[in-house]
Amino acid sequence: MPIYEYECNACGTNFEELVRMCEEKAPACPRCGKPDTRRLLSPCASKAGGGDAFASGSSSSCGSGGKGFS
């Protein structure tokens, strides 16, 4: 299951949630409890050139995934 980053439209809280890929409904805000949240686009992590370090946002294989993004 991937971890998605969300933002609450009601109170502005940013939070991460472990969500099944088939789940279409965004989770409620952990701070205010309102269901008015949206999934944010996050940079991808990928292995950089043969070392053990990871580089953020350097992979072209990370896509937007389509639905659920505003």
Domain extent listing, the chain: 3-56
Using alpha carbons, list the distances in angstroms from residue 55 to 15, 45, 59: 22, 6, 8
Q: What's the pLDDT score for residue 61?
A: 44
The overall average pLDDT reported for the chain is: 77
Residues 26-51, mean pLDDT to the nearest whole number: 85
Q: What's the pLDDT score for residue 53?
A: 54
Q: Which fold has domain 3-56?
A: Rubrerythrin, domain 2 (2.20.28)
Whether the predicted pLDDT of 38 surpasses 90: yes
Q: What is the pTM of this model?
A: 0.58
Q: What's the pLDDT score for residue 64?
A: 46
Whether the predicted pLDDT of 63 surpasses 50: no
Query: CA 54, CA 35: separation in Å to the nearest integer?
Result: 34
- The DSSP string of 10-27 is TT--EEEEE--TT--SPP
